[in-house]
């Protein structure tokens, strides 16, 4: 078999992170930063080898893999259970996503790996199966993942996700000139720690906490409408409000405040934490003609800055 390649996107949460844990819908979107996986079966023996541009090279089967590759090992085992054999392969993974920054790099890697490894069996697995296998692998990395990351990486576009109720696609009509600028604070954070901090504050606030969650729910409804109508100015303001709510729940940091304020001052429509907070990344919605300005300002303080777009395609073959 000659080499075949697939790719899968990372994601951002545009609205509703944390509130989603308690049943508020969240909006997530596929971004232009992707993970590419290429597979060949010409490896000899019964081994599966993974070579990653981020982590290096490792035998994942039958040897015990290093921890970064344990999610791939899980997927290989699930293929073995489903097809009754394990096909030898070498899979090369190239990711343009930062790791552990809330951009869904592990899910995108799992999705790309699953689809690529399927090709070693001579099949294109149906998307729901790819998503399910990647979800199983995500459980090893995240413990109790919500399922947003593998879903959006498989299907692409923009989704409304409600815990326990799955997801629906959202209509998004933003012009090509609108870009998403992502700034990585470089501060490592734990999603688990951030989630428990927010839940503890909600409990402590009682009725006030419930009211903040009601505001978050109303905000998501307004954002769905703004995405459909391409009301970019309103979307930007809603991002600012969403950031304010996350700040109120305790997951901002001075470094993250600096980033969002820099983005806004440099001309973004709006800016907010994306994902868990307490570090990680912020996102800003920016028009083409202001991107340079925003990137320049963020680059002075961020560990890394990316220019991309939302509502990108999901899993792609080729």
Just list the catalytic residues: 149
Contact status: 271 vs ligand PMV (CB under 6 A): no
Burial class of residue 263 in the structure, from the number of CB atoms within 10 Å of its CB (0-12 exposed, 13-18 middle, 19+ buried): buried
State the Cα–Cα distance between residues 232 and 270, nearest whole angstrom: 9
Shortest Å, Cβ 152 to ligand PMV = 11
Contact status: 17 vs ligand PMV (CB under 6 A): yes
Cβ distance to ligand PMV smaller for residue 98 or 118 = 98
Give me the 23-62 binding string for ligand PMV, x by CB under 6 A, dash otherwise. Answer: ----------------------------------------
Torsion of CA 267, 215, 12, 227, to 10 degrees: -70
Contact status: 102 vs ligand PMV (CB under 6 A): yes
Shortest Å, Cβ 251 to ligand PMV = 8
Cβ distance to ligand PMV smaller for residue 20 or 259 = 20
Give me the 128-167 binding string for ligand PMV, x by CB under 6 A, dash otherwise. Answer: ------------------x---------------------
Contacts with ligand PMV, residue ranges (CB under 6 A): 13, 17-18, 20-21, 102, 146, 191, 194-195, 275-276, 280
């Amino acid at each position: 078999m000659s080499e075949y390649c697939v790719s899968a996107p990372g994601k951002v949460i545009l609205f509703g992170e944390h509130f989603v844990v308690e049943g508020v819908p969240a909006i997530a979107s596929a971004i232009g930063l992707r993970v590419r996986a290429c597979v060949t079966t010409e490896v000899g023996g019964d081994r599966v080898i993974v070579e990653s541009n981020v982590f290096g090279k490792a035998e994942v089967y039958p040897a015990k893999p290093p921890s970064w590759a344990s999610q791939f090992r899980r997927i290989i085992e699930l293929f073995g259970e489903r097809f009754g054999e394990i096909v030898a392969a070498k899979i090369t993974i190239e990711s343009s996503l930062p790791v552990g920054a809330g951009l869904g790099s592990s899910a995108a890697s799992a999705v790309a790996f699953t689809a690529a490894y399927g090709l070693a069996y001579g099949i294109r697995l149906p998307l729901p199966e790819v998503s399910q296998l990647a979800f199983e692998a995500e459980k090893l990395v995240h413990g109790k993942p919500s399922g947003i990351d593998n879903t959006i990486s498989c299907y692409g576009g923009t989704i409304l996700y409600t815990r326990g109720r799955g997801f629906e696609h959202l209509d998004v009509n933003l012009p090509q000139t609108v870009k998403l600028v992502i700034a990585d604070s470089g501060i490592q954070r734990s999603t688990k720690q951030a989630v428990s901090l927010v839940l503890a504050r909600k409990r402590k606030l009682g009725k006030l906490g419930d009211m903040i969650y009601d505001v978050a729910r109303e905000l998501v409804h307004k954002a769905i409408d703004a995405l459909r109508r391409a009301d970019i100015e309103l979307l930007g303001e809603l991002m600012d409000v969403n950031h304010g709510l996350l700040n109120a729940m305790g997951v901002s940091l001075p470094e993250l405040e600096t980033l969002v304020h820099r983005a806004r001052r440099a001309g973004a429509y709006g800016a907010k934490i994306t994902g868990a907070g307490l570090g990680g990344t912020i996102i800003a919605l920016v028009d083409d003609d202001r991107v340079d300005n925003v990137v320049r300002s963020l680059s002075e303080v961020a560990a890394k800055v990316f220019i991309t777009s939302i509502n990108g395609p999901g899993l792609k073959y080729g």
